[in-house]
Amino acid sequence: MKAALLDPGDPRWSEALEKAGHDIYHLPRYVVLDAALTGSTPAAFWFEAGGQHLLVPLIMRDIPGTGWRDAASPYGYPGPASQAAAEDTDFWDQACAAFGRTLAAEGVVTAFVRMHPMLPAPLDVMARHGAMVLHGETVSMDLTISVEQMWSLTRSDHRNHINRARRAGTRVLFDEWDRLGEWVECYHDNMRRVGANEFYFFTREHLEAMRDAVGERMHFACALEGDEVVGGNTFFEYDGIATGYVSSTRRAKNRYADELLYDEVRRFCKNRGNTLFHLGGGKGGQNDSLFTYKAGFSPQRHAFHTWRVVADPEAYRSLMTERRPDADPGDLTAAFPPYRQE
């Protein structure tokens, strides 16, 4: 039995992924770019026992005013990747126990892990080593059915808006990367309108760096009215799963570029042989208005959980006493880690 915290250049990272089902969020170069957004350190927990491997991508963040760090998943739905079956509870139990010990030995107090809704994992076993919190559901489109079936499963208001956008002459182009800068301006305008956190203001440079890192696995769908960019959708393809990354449209009355983009992207992904398009869920995983909007494109649902682990209980209690004396340190189900919450 072996466990370690790896940096992206460690060959064990890529070797583990060769053996396990995984998504684009698990790739070293994806984690490197995501960590750079917040000045954090990219890493992965690696575990091996009996010839089976488990890998959890992480970004390591300094806890200001201390010599400690905490860990969180990169943006998206990473979770653990392993070739071990979820029914192999002994392996998963050993891996989860080693996860906490390894992080504590590296000065890491807590870990916040977003689970992948479609990668199998024994949630009950993992809950023995932390808290497993159900947030809500995510939505995916089945791309193995016909285009006609996908259309029939689309909510009537979305179908109406898509038809209106087409009649108005709105068109969608794919991988016209020279229009990326124009769309980023639209995207930032929308982020300002909704009062989004600074983290979500992804820059053109970051998106171009991500495209360079993952190559043809990343695509850009651009919606135009005449020659004006009014919306865009960036998304990934990986092992048959298409996943949305960042999307936004410029708001205006009777403009339905957003619905049209979803329809055109699913057709594009189906034509390229993908079997699933994962739209994600609501804000923070909640079944909110964003979730309801996405749910109008497909009836297919997946449960979304986060796994919260206190790796160093003594350091955790110290931080809670100093920074959140009013909070219950035993409650891992609210905003986590609580010592970072104002």
Whether the Cβ atoms of residue 230 and residue 255 lie closer than 8 Å to each other: yes
The pLDDT tens digits of the residues spanning 231-266 come to 999 999 999 999 999 999 887 677 889 999 999 999
More confident residue, 194 or 297: 297
Q: How far apart are CA 306 and CA 169, in angstroms?
A: 42
Q: What percent of the chain lies above the pLDDT cut of 70?
A: 99
The pLDDT tens digits of the residues spanning 31-45 come to 999 999 999 999 999
In sequence order, what are the residues at sequence separation of 6 or more whose Cβ sits closer than 8 angstroms to the Cβ of residue 82?
20, 52, 53, 54, 55, 91, 92, 95, 121
pLDDT of residue 282: 83
Q: How far apart are CA 100 and CA 76, in angstroms?
A: 22
pLDDT of residue 342: 66
Homologous superfamily (CATH) for 144-274: Gcn5-related N-acetyltransferase (GNAT) (3.40.630.30)
pLDDT of residue 200: 85
Q: Please give the CATH number for the structural domain made up of 2-135+305-340.
A: 3.40.630.30
Residue range(s) occupied by CATH 3.40.630.30 in the chain: 2-135+305-340, 144-274
**Number of H helices and number of E strands within the chain?**
11, 13
Can you read off the two tokens belonging to residue 286? 């909640």
Burial class of residue 302 in the structure, from the number of CB atoms within 10 Å of its CB (0-12 exposed, 13-18 middle, 19+ buried): middle
In sequence order, what are the residues at sequence separation of 6 or more whose Cβ sits closer than 8 angstroms to the Cβ of residue 256?
161, 162, 164, 165, 170
pLDDT of residue 155: 97
Can you read off the two tokens belonging to residue 50? 């009996």
